[in-house]
Structure 1
């Protein structure tokens, strides 16, 4: 767990800072794997690079999952809807951690099996399995986003919207109600002066 003094004051825990690494890495991993599959023999280390990226994805998914379990204690869950969304998010996060780290182990083992490395068909199957890790990653992200943006978990109110009856909060902005009153008064006085 990251000590509080290392976190910015606007973040309730380390999870929001860590959670985006596996999301970014999975797309980079799949792109590198697609390039390695397309280039084949022309990129001799392509499978190793893609496997290393998948390993980084799996490790970051583990860190993200455990940072999320520690984060639960730092934010209030006050509605049943938020609790249900948290439960769903937690399930998919666990499944994402298991699938990405398990897939990384499978890819690493495949590097040491000569017939897996040599056959393009084996690489295609491994690539398709890698694409499958996007499903739990997507579900985890959808439910995590719903917790923040729909349920308001971990979000504090940082600014107040001024009411319409109060003067403009910013001195550089003109108060439109006062401007409308001035223009109405100006037009009525010009009407009174004209014969």
Structure 2
């Protein structure tokens, strides 16, 4: 295995915790109704298109046309988005900062809408401390499409086989490997520390 020269972090569920349910406990107090809403209206498949670059007003209009009685709830998704990011994952942040301080080449690659990532930057300044970030919503590509990994390699002049990707999603880890990267699935900071140590990267 090629020695790791570049380390790439995902953001959501690796460095910051994302929980849509947290933003809707007051909007839709009933747990079963909230589940129905996320399973049928503001679904993951709908939300990922904002990560691909679709604008919020377009996304909302599509759902309101199908669920006019849910307009208030649909608009609450974007309006309450800040409540969905409940906290930073401090153990991971410490690891990332240690890697940067030790001189490792650290960048980020994330599925994120352009505007909401900018909000996250303001709340969590550590998200701007790496060498740079590829944001899916800025370029119209999303993980696990091979094209987004290739774009990141070109943008930051990485050597794919010497690049380690850290992501909580198994399919995104698999996508990185398909692009010729090394990759580990994020479970928790302790596991990440052990994975890095196993690759000869001391943190």
Same fold (TM over 0.5): no
Larger Rg: 1
Higher relative contact order (CA 8 A, sep 6+): 2
**TM-score using structure 1 length:** 0.30
